[in-house]
Structure 1
């Protein structure tokens, strides 16, 4: 069984890739919904959009072969042991900002303040994601189809 977490900053293409994998017939879950995530308050008193532990543990216990999960949450590290692979999608800052400005499926990243926040996360959060990842794919160079091809090959490597 292969469970693959697809993570990365806003605008790297996580949702697009997971939609493509679902279109190809795989179990593919975008965790950026109320079903999988909830708002809480972090240690500094700031709002934090984290994975719901119960639903995520149940999802990761499923026998689906393979399972793709996408998201970027502050508590995702607590689930890393349930994934066979953690894949970081990355892209240059200018690519991320252009995608955020033009995407239609998520309002986050439209304001200057949110764009500045994303740039800050590139400096502070992305290195942490990179340290926890088994593989990094450049979504600035690869198309959604190419990313999905690479993820599919990764997930099926031990199948058969």
Structure 2
């Protein structure tokens, strides 16, 4: 991650990691996508390309993460977006946050 951030002008990263806070000072924006826990549970139950979230135990773990981890993520975020927004709208908001792409002269 450090190499990528040192060499690329525009980087958009998705996901979470225990050490993500170590990189926050290198980002102009840290976006938290959030949704009510029951929306998250329904989404993982409905997906067909990944079995995680289909069992009660996994759903309980998701609920625990939302309760315990999401507040930490919220404190580190510069902006929070409602993940129930249509994907196109979310992408447009994030694109505006990124701003115009730099022109490369090779």
TM range (shorter): 0.7 to 0.9
Q: Which residue of 2 aligns with 1:63?
A: 8
CA distance in 2 between partners of 1:80 and 1:121 (Å): 21
The change in CA–CA distance for 1:146 and 1:137 in structure 2 (over 3 A counts) is same
Q: Which residue of 2 aligns with 1:81?
A: 25
The answer for unaligned runs of 5 or more in structure 1 is 1-55
TM-score calculated relative to the size of structure 2 = 0.87
Structure whose residues are more often strand by fraction: 1
Aligned length: 103
Any residues of structure 2 matched to 1:31-50 within 5 Å, and which? none
Q: Which deviates the most, 150-159 or 66-75?
A: 150-159
Over 3 Å off, 4+ runs:
157-160
Q: Which residue of 2 aligns with 1:47?
A: none
Partner SS for 2:92: helix
1:125 positional shift = 0.3
Q: CA RMSD in A?
A: 1.8
Structure whose residues are more often helix by fraction: 2
Which of 136, 146, 160 is equivalent to 2:80? 136
Which of 87, 90, 96 is equivalent to 1:147? 90
